[in-house]
């Protein structure tokens, strides 16, 4: 039996209809370098989606690899209750300097969903312990995504992931999210006054009394198809949360660490959330790690004599893993030494202009939207009505398969194709990715017309 046959014999791949694998076999990756992955035959794949948005500074980045190797010689893991270690301590000290201000206390876990669960429980318990036992519900935005564990799914709104599980989820209060491409107020991104914020205002008027927290993906609803909305929305939300004493949770798992052009998406709004969840880019894509970071105010509501029973009784075995912390420290070091944000913003302009030149004239591209290096192309059957392709056609998936043959990993989100490359991608790599992308779109849409 060869490796592919054995893979199919044993492995249940994530987020996949396994029957699709009969036709499209798993690609067995042997090694990675920079923006490229290589299979066992040496075929190269340009990883324009950063291996599910986590690979931040290239595969096998020599500096991160060296930092993890060094830590491996000292200690690989240690219980994080009552014990600590230098990488975790130094990491928090250094993160303090780059996260939105006011966020001061760090609670470690090992994946994005887990950090969201911690944020939800923390918010609930904060309200409970500060005299608001009636605040038991959560608010979220429609089309939001916060992970796939039960709590995270409950505050997510994407039927694709949640529908079948509805009977076992808590019911959250869902606010209609901004939809800038198909704006119901018929505004453009240039003359928008966040009219859609009225949905949030109404929800708060009706439900804030029973709500402990609201969770949002700031500026970029990733899984929904890289939907981008303006910072003014976050500013207004910050004010509303203050007025009604609702905790504001920023899920920056996808947007953190320079993806949106600033270190964190909330920085665009000149405001701070009460809780921030970070993961994906945190270790550069090296180790599973996440942190839920909050304010002194929230932390203090848990700080009491043991007998009062106010502690946050929440743990994960791999909390604060030293290998993850040393990878994350190396990431921050690279940001400082290599001016990562400045260079990424130059290449962000280049990427967007190249994509526009190559594709904006195409009859099936409705919009190319961008924030930092993230660029999303909305595939439409009709540009005038903005009608998308029938999902049964799986147009995005067909383009994905075509691009894979040509050596580009362009995994779609329904009818949206996107680039979310490592921040260190080079111009010639952008050039190559844009060209394969345009060819693949051309070939597939030609066929379906």
Ligand X SMILES: *Cc1c(COP(=O)(O)O)cnc(C)c1O
Instruction: Of 82, 150, 65, give the one whose Cα is nearest residue 116.
Output: 150
Does residue 367 touch ligand X according to CB under 6 A?
A: no
**Binding-residue total with ligand X (CB under 6 A):** 14
Within 10 A of 442 (CB to CB), how many other CB atoms are there?
A: 16
Distance between CA 162 and CA 181 in Å, rounded? 24
Q: How far is the CB of 53 from ligand X (least distance, A)?
A: 6
Does the annotation list 52 as a binding residue? yes
CA 68, 117, 78: angle at the middle one, nearest 5? 35
Does the annotation list 315 as a binding residue? yes
**Subset of residues 213 to 232 that bind ligand X, contact rule: CB under 6 A:** 217, 222
**Subset of residues 124 to 163 that bind ligand X, contact rule: CB under 6 A:** 145-147
Does the annotation list 280 as a binding residue? yes
* Strand pairing class (173-175; 211-216): unpaired
Binding mask 101-120 for ligand X (x = CB under 6 A): ----------xxx--x----
Does the annotation list 251 as a binding residue? yes
Containing H/E element for 441? helix 427-448
Nearer to ligand X, 287 or 434 (CB): 287
Nearer to ligand X, 68 or 282 (CB): 282
Nearer to ligand X, 287 or 377 (CB): 287
Does the annotation list 303 as a binding residue? no
Q: How far is the CB of 289 from ligand X (least distance, A)?
A: 9
Does the annotation list 181 as a binding residue? no
Q: How far is the CB of 133 from ligand X (least distance, A)?
A: 28
End-to-end CA distance of the chain: 41
User: 3-class SS at 354?
Assistant: helix
* Strand pairing class (416-419; 137-141): unpaired
- 262 near 220, Cβ under 8 Å? no
Nearer to ligand X, 54 or 437 (CB): 54
Residue number with the shortest CB distance to ligand X? 112
Q: How far is the CB of 156 from ligand X (least distance, A)?
A: 8
Does the annotation list 411 as a binding residue? yes
Nearer to ligand X, 116 or 444 (CB): 116
Q: How far is the CB of 213 from ligand X (least distance, A)?
A: 15
Dihedral (Cα; 242, 260, 228, 401), 10-degree rounding: -140
3-state helix, strand, coil in the chain (%, to 5): 40, 15, 40
Q: How far is the CB of 255 from ligand X (least distance, A)?
A: 7
Whose tokens are 């040509």? That residue is 406
CA distances in angstroms from 165 to 138, 162, 225, listed in the order given: 18, 5, 22
Q: How far is the CB of 336 from ligand X (least distance, A)?
A: 25
Dihedral (Cα; 64, 66, 72, 76), 10-degree rounding: -10
**Subset of residues 239 to 278 that bind ligand X, contact rule: CB under 6 A:** 251, 253-254
Nearer to ligand X, 264 or 389 (CB): 264
**Subset of residues 72 to 101 that bind ligand X, contact rule: CB under 6 A:** none
- In terms of Cβ atoms closer than 10 Å to its own Cβ (0-12, 13-18, 19+), residue 282 is buried
What would the two tokens of residue 408 be?
Answer: 């580009």
* Strand pairing class (211-216; 103-109): unpaired
User: 3-class SS at 58?
Assistant: coil
Does the annotation list 58 as a binding residue? no
Nearer to ligand X, 34 or 144 (CB): 144
Distance between CA 231 and CA 192 in Å, rounded? 11
Binder of ligand X out of 50, 174, 279, 364 (CB under 6 A): 279
Nearer to ligand X, 112 or 320 (CB): 112
Question: Residues within the annotated binding site?
Answer: 52, 112-113, 145, 251, 280, 315-317, 411
Question: Residues within the annotated binding site for pyridoxal 5'-phosphate?
Answer: 112-113, 251, 316-317
Question: Residues within the annotated binding site for substrate?
Answer: 52, 145, 280, 315, 411
Residues within the interface to ligand X (CB under 6 A)? 111-113, 116, 145-147, 217, 222, 251, 253-254, 279-280
């Amino acid at each position: 039996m060869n490796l592919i046959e054995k893979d199919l014999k044993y492995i249940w791949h994530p987020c996949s209809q396994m029957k699709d694998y009969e036709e499209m076999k798993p690609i067995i990756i042997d090694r990675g370098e920079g923006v490229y992955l290589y299979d066992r035959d040496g075929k190269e794949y340009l990883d324009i989606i950063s291996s599910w948005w986590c690979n931040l500074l290239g595969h096998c980045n020599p500096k991160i690899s060296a930092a993890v190797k060094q830590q491996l010689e000292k200690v690989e893991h240690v219980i994080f209750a009552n014990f600590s270690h230098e990488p975790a301590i130094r990491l928090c000290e250094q993160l303090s300097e780059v996260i939105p201000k006011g966020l001061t206390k760090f609670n470690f876990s090992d994946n994005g969903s887990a950090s969201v669960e911690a944020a939800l429980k923390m918010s609930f318990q904060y309200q409970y312990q500060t005299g608001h036992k009636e605040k038991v519900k959560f608010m979220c935005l429609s089309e939001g995504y916060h992970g796939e564990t039960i709590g995270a799914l409950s505050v997510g709104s994407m039927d694709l992931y949640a529908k079948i599980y509805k009977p076992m989820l808590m019911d959250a209060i869902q606010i209609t999210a901004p939809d800038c491409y198909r704006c119901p107020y018929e505004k453009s991104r240039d003359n928008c006054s966040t009219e859609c914020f009225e949905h949030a205002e109404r929800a708060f008027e009706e439900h804030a009394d029973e709500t402990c927290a609201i969770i949002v993906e700031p500026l970029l609803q990733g899984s929904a198809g890289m939907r981008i909305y303006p910072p003014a929305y976050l500013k207004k939300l910050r004010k509303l949360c203050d007025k009604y004493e609702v905790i504001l949770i920023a899920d920056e798992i996808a947007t953190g660490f320079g993806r949106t052009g600033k270190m964190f998406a909330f920085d665009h709004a000149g405001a701070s959330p009460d809780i921030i969840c970070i993961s994906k880019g945190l270790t550069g894509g090296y180790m599973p790690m996440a942190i839920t970071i909050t304010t002194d105010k929230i932390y203090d509501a848990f700080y009491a004599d043991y007998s009062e029973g106010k502690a946050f009784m929440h743990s994960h075995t791999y909390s604060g893993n030293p290998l993850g912390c040393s990878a994350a420290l190396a990431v921050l070091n690279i940001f400082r030494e290599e001016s990562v944000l400045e260079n990424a913003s130059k290449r962000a302009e280049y990427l967007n202009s190249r994509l526009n030149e190559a594709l904006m004239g195409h009859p099936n591209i409705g919009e190319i939207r961008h924030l930092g290096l993230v660029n999303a192309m909305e595939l439409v059957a009709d540009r005038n009505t903005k009608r998308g392709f029938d999902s049964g056609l799986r147009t995005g998936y067909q383009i994905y398969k075509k691009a894979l043959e040509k050596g580009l990993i362009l995994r779609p989100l329904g009818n949206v194709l996107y680039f979310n490359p490592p921040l260190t991608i080079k111009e010639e790599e952008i050039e190559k990715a844009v060209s394969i992308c345009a060819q693949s779109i051309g070939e597939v849409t030609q066929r379906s017309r």
